[in-house]
Amino acid sequence: MPLDKLIDFYQTLTPESVDRFGEFYAETAWFKDPFNEVRGLPAIQRIFAHMFSQVGEPRFVITEKVGAGATAMLVWEFSFRVRRLGSAQSMIMRGVSHLRFDDAGKVVFHRDYWDTAEELYMKLPILGTLMRGLRKALAA
């Protein structure tokens, strides 16, 4: 099943396996997340290669999957390490991927949804303080 193979690919992703995206994604696939919107296999591979250059020990864990026909949703946790003030800090971001597959079982549409404020900005030293204050002020 293409979805199970894709899940295994993401959960074992390494800098070297970024070259294997063509096994799972169509040449003209579209990808969007809160920071990127690209079309084409080389552009998608660049995003994931860039990920490995920016964070340490990145790892995806798929916690749920829902599939119907040529469409699937994956709930995931992305863990990684970032360097801050001379030490490495572990972080986890949670999100969902909406996928559509072509007749050959390759991804043609990949849209990631995750809350950049909660999952990223609030965890940063200065910006996080401002975001937490804003959240508190707006909460019911």
pTM value? 0.82
**What is the pLDDT averaged over residues 86-108?**
91
In the chain, where are the structural domains located?
2-114
The CATH T-level fold of domain 2-114 is Nuclear Transport Factor 2; Chain: A, (3.10.450)
Calpha distance 131→104 (Å, rounded)? 44
Tokens 């549409």 sit on residue: 109
**Which pLDDT tens digit goes with each residue over 41-71?**
999 999 999 999 989 999 999 999 999 889 9
Task: Return the H-helix or E-strand segment holding 64.
Answer: strand 56-68
Partners of residue 61 on adjacent β-strands: 77
Task: Work out the pLDDT band at 79, boundaries 50, 70, 90.
Answer: very high
**What is the pLDDT averaged over residues 2-24?**
96
